[in-house]
Structure 1
Amino acid sequence: MVNQVGLAFLSASLGMLFQRMTSPEVLLFIKGRKPTKVLLWKLKNAMLSVKAVLEDAEEKQLMDSVVKVWVDELKDVIYDAEDILDEIATEDLQRKLQDAESPTLVRNLRNSFSALLEPFFKKVDKKVEELLDRLEDLTKQKDCMGLREGVGVGGKQYPERLSTSYVSQSDTFGRNEDKEKVIDLLLLSDASGNERCVIAIVGMGGIGKTTLAQLAYNDSRVEKAEFNLKIWFCVSEEFVVPNVMKSIIDQSATSSAPSTEDPEQLQVTLQKNLTGKKFLLVLDDVWSEKPCHQEFLSQLLHYGTRESKILITTRNESVALAMKATATHHLKFLPNDDCWSLFEKHAFRDGSSNADPEIKDTGRQIVKKCKGLPLAIKAIGDLLWFESNVERWTNILKSNLWDLHMKGTDILPALRLSYKYLPSYLKKCFAYCSIFPKDYNFKKDQLVLLWMAEGFLQQSEIETMEEVGNRYFDALVSRSLFQQSLETHESGFVMHDLVHDLANFVTGQFGFTRLEGDNSKEIGKMTRYLSYFHRSSDNFDKNIEEDLDKAKQLRTCLALDYEGGSEIKMPRARCLSGFKLSNSISKMKHLRYLDFSNCKDIKRLPDSICMLCNLQTLKLLKCWKLERLPRDMWKLIKLRHLELDETIKLQEMPIQMDRLKCLQTLSKFIVSERDNGSSNIGELGKLINLRGNLLIQKLQNVRSANDALNANLKDKRYLEELVLKWNPPEEVLGISESQRGVIENLQCHANLKSLTINCYNGRGFPDWIGLLLPSLSKLELLDCKYCNALPPLGQLPSLNELYIVGMDGVVTVDPEFYINSCSFRNPFGRLKLLWLKNMPNWEDWFHLNVQNEVKTYSQLEELYIENCPKLRGRLPVHLPSLKILRIYECRHLEASLSIESFPVLIRKGITECDNLESFAFPEQHKHDGIVNFNNCLQELRIYRCSSLMSFLKEGLLSPLKVLEIDDCDSLVSFPLDLFPNLKSIQIKRCENLKSLEQHDGVDLAISNIEIHGCPNFVSFPKGGLLAHNLVSFIVKNCESLRSMPDEMHRFLPSLCYLELVNCSEVESFPKGGLPSNLKQIVIKRCKKLIANMNGWDLKILSSLKWLEIIWDVKLEDHVEFFPGGLSLPTTLTNLKISSFGNLKSLDEGFQKLTSLVQLEIGECPKLKYMPNGGFPTSLSFVQAWKCPLLNEELKRKEGREWQKVDRVSNILIDLEHIKGDELPACKSPYDQFGSMDTESSHMVPDQYDPVPPDNSIVKLADDILSLIGTTNIC
């Protein structure tokens, strides 16, 4: 089968081929070689003869399978012709390189060149003759098929439509009612008590299911519903449970998913991350009807709280039924009026139809043909946006593609038309994207470089090829063929699955994607583009090698999301991310794109790689062991992008880097300390096209200021981010007077947006930093320990972020910091973030006079002052936009913290405030200002305030959601009822804290409580702790506590996680038992409680999954058998017992634990026997350590005890695998509940976070002092 889109692809290919045939390079190289010239002329004429009938073929032979074979053969000939032209261009380039390398020798041998090239030309002539024979057969066939010459749509140039390259969520019409219904379902509490809540959106492809799900997912009401986790995953046609699990884990935890592929271990981690959480999970584009997948969803819901929801989108009602959706919303066709509104927005340049009435009438008829499908309307509207001629609109309306049914596809007619009328230069770019699997998130920059490698980008005199590629990309976005990914909001793009079907159809058998586990498809000999997507599998590697052996003419081979290694061979474009380096790489002379990123074992690239004279892009990101680059890198004369980020062991650059005239990206340049064999900084001077980011390292090796001047940074107008880095001061010999001259001559261009100066070892900064960088938005001055003054930065008009760290020599920040002699505007007028850190000798911070000071820092939102122990004086008097204030280890700083100073402060922290006694609002502030303040304050952290005794009722801390109190020795009691909206509280190391108080009997909103290291804490509120929303309850190292809160089973119905550690006086759980919703219990070294564990009665806890009991092997215990009299629920999946000195045997009670998956036993020196009858069949992992009597027999893998565990798939004894090789995915649930996951934990870049691990709560956010007045806070 063939259709217009396939033939349009051919037309575009032929056009590009003709351009290459007549290029000056080819014509000059074959000059004087008449046979080759004649053959190429014949080839062009033969191609023109075939091209003339393509449009006729699309009109007459749309459904003829014979024509399909004919077209595929023609495509194959075109590809082969392109390869021949590439060989000619490559041979020409290699000759020029030889000329440049040995010009004298070449001149002497010039007369011999024709003889040397004779074998090459004979080879080319033979290939062209073979192509002519094939074309002759195709020409005869087209005559037999009766194809006639004609004229089609081809080659019109369209104006480029402006596009932001982002998909707007507001680009929806007629879906408000649908959105409200879905949101109601998401927010509805199931009064029946049924925990399972799967909601389905059902509708045909292109009708807007994903858009509707996104609108609901991002709606402010859903945000306010306080889901602990919101997770989005696109399932697509294959519902691969491990992939879904890994994505959920990645989005629900601070660390990435474990590398294991074992579903059982992933399940353990998944359970840990979701247990006790209210989550919203969107599974987009679900196709599976398998019961196992429904069971998986049900299991996920049982991990979370009852309010958790799963929202799926699917085309098929049967999928919703199979997933046991409790509610289904059927998405119908868009109403006619809304169809027209959507069409108007996309088809008319002003967004409305104030146009020719005839065009308007034609447009309405076109809209009717879209049959209410938003995707079709947007695609055809985006196409017509470029057309203002009514005749073109009429042609599109009357196209027979509207009525053509294409067997075996769901491609919308509107999409076929959209492709047919694409400019020819976009057709191949679009079709190439079929190389990505469905729903794959691709990056704009990477795709543009791949297009460039394939030769799809037209040369331009006024644009770089990258700029041309960006324009092409934006054009495809503007036509709704690409859309921004819902999973990667910043830079990822994706194709709708129906659009992907179109790209696949256009590419046909010339593109091939191999997915792991899919062996149903066979790669063909015509395949030019191959991609494969998987995690890691030896069998899969073998499949790929077989594919590569069959596809001899490959142009692109991409390994997508690969985590393993083998060697492969292919030309033109190659992505080897994660692979081992192949020694045969030098043979790939047509290679344009080479990606070795994440090849962590590569120490050196082979010198032969420099023979890749066509190479345009070389990526070496995260090659952590890479030590050197090849000496002859200069031979890569077409190299445009050299990416070296995170090559931490790379020591120097090769010589003659300045010969890489095409270079645009050079992410790192290292100045060598040697005179020979490596590049000098001056070589940067000739790389005039550098753009993007540049890091220059080891600047202490610059020999003179003149060398720095030769780098010519001030003329590099396209650089956006620059890092100037010297070695740390401890690695150089003190102050270097010569470095002032060096940094003076490293002046940057005025277009620079970000500058970092790191470890500069001169005394002062150059004037150009504060005077000549009008576009600078981010400045970092890091560890410049010998500089004794800051440059005048206040007048930088665009400065948005300023980091000053490790400036040991600075004693005073004087008024010159704000102004300079050349200008005076409001200082730091656009600054939003100011970070002052690790300045041990800083004493004085001068401010401008009051009149000018109120205009300073007018937009500052975040202020961090850390580890400045000598700093005196005050903060700036007026910070009207400040939202976050963090002060750490600044004992002498005084601050006036009034409402007027910080009217919108959201987070503030105080540390080591010895004079703070109580929190209350003074009388003069109990008026209008307090309302504004209450609407802002959400997080408060108090650290080492030894005089803090109480929170007064007048404090009115109603908006507070997160509270952390640490090391406040005078605090005796804490009034919970003063914080009606508090969600999370941590009280740590408050030595004299005795009680939590709750007087009013009001149900608290709190969901997390942790009390840690309070040795005198004795009681919870009398009568019980009323907190129906409490999910996590942790009490550690409270040796005086005698009992847990009363009525836990009634007052804490949502409790999922309970942890008690070193509470030695607690004897039993409260009367009535524990809440039935508990999923995880951890009891450690609570001697009286564990001694009475036979009375725990855990069997009634039908939701319990995880139990951990740790005694103290040094203490006497009477437990000889386990579980013994302890009744356990059958739902238990994970059990850990440790440090029982008298435990001798595990008993038959284990056979009742029919859901048990993981068992860990440790430090039980007398344990010798496993349970008679063995373990339940569900058990898959057993770990035992420091159990010498038992472990000795298990290590021998024989005997009675071994037979009891032999069936278990993974056994780890004393940290040694004796069976299987998988470690448990997690060993303690504390990782999930042990620390509060608050928004503020991500408010600061990691590289600036000064807080040591044990002081992790000091993220410093406190607003109350705003209402206290002048206070010594540090």
Structure 2
Amino acid sequence: MSKKIKSVIEEMNSICLLVSDLLKVKTANHSSIALSRHVTIERPPTGSIVPQDRKLYGRNDIFEQTVNALTGGTYHDKTLSVLPFVGPGGIGKTTFTQHLYNDERIKGHFPVRVWVCVSTNFDVIRLTREILGCIPGTNTSTIEPTNLDQLQTAIAERLDSRRFLIVLDDMWTCKSARDWENLLAPFTTGGTKGSMILVTTRLPSVAQMVKTTDPIELHGLEPDDFFALFESCIFGHNKPRLYDDDLVNVARDIAKKLKGSPLAANTVGRLLKKNISWEYWMGILEKNEWQSAKNDDDILPSLEISYNYLHFHLQKCFFYCALFPEDYKFYDLEKITNFWIAVGIVDSSCRNDKNYLDELVDNGFLIKNSDRNGEYYVMHDLLHELSRNVSSQECVNISSLSFRVNDIPQSIRHLSITVEDKYDESFGREICKLRSVIDIGNLRTLMVFGPHDAETGDILRDAFEGIKSLRVLFIPSLPGSLPKSFSNLIHLQYLTIMPPSDAGHCLYLPRTLPRFYHLKFLDLDGWFGWECNVILPKNISRLMNLRIFILPKNSIPVFLRSER
């Protein structure tokens, strides 16, 4: 038998090589295959010239602070300082840096200024050659330097101890710390202090590697500044007379959905300027039409470049983040890791070695923050839209306020529902149609977020009658929201039950729970500080694969001697 298994594995390995070539993926090592795309990303080149109509909206305070820091005494005690600007795609890093670069105070302070677009190809010789070509010099040799040493020597000679400002725009990677040191080498030899390198990047990991001072993080514009930018993207400098209060209100409603992103303002502005009418604009608002825009400089295509640049395992983690509501706070690394294990994208054997949330932070997809409940991770707003977009054929998060069953693809296997406090009739009608569109029996994930009343609970229970293949079930209350076919979920691996606020002092777990042989994670920690007794069913010891059992704080588990 072992020889047959070995033979099958060898045949599979030969096929994997062919498939890897076809899909442009590579193997990480001999013992395990980690898919990682060879991504060739064509990035548009950038230059230092600010287009005449590109005003800098908002960020006046941080702009003035940065100018004062560059020209004042902040960096004058160091020969060379590196200041990164970091933020998601389309947030305005290049525009901000262009305005800095062309500010008269900056021009007067730095006799030598150089702008180089790095993009995804961090080649030390190429970048050094481009920088050299941008530095004016006297008595320059007509012989073109050919190797790194000659290029570096030529740069040092041309700088001639003059203070300089170098912008490395749109930097995605650097192969090693040695490459970065080689690039910086000719700029650290002069006697003049206060020279600066500005780096713009989407990736916090790149910013951390190159920085010598704290990076400047750029986020979305404030609402008033963003709306001024948004209007300029639609009308330029001249608003038409037909731009009345009704259109202004629609424009404001659209602007709220764009999360302060200048790129989003440009994308949607192009759509709205095609037809300045209330009916057309309302259609744009209701259908979120900017999500289907396909030009390279539109919102989602631009952000998808970041997604394509991720390693394969991070792509899958980001993929399933679409199931969580917008602005969802991930407080517990262990819980989200357990979720990824249950849906089959993370190997449980390496759970202690990897913090995928931190890796997503390093790649600019999550923000790490804290509040009174502790540290948490949250997704950039427009990147949540990207997550929903790239996973749209498999994962859907339904909002009870805007749910239309005809918008859901038949291929969906992972479903989450965000419900409001009160029952909504249109939601009830649409959710009842759900089984006519998707195969309820083959759902792998079902998650319900948000408190809801008994009527909504009944609707959800009836709608999901017949589920049998779930690996993940997230139910916010007992017993009303449990599907009637709960006892058939023998493939379940992850179960989260949050007790309702009126549960009293006891939480009774379903008596059929011991049937779930494959259950690995049981989480009952839904109400912080809620004291209760958890009544465990008879024979719960049959859960041989259960690895993690999380109880509410201050709870007391009680074992029943007989079935309830």
TM tier relative to shorter chain? 0.3 to 0.5
Higher RCO (C-alpha 8 Å, min separation 6):
2
Q: TM-score, normalised by structure 1?
A: 0.19
Higher helix share: 2
Larger Rg: 1
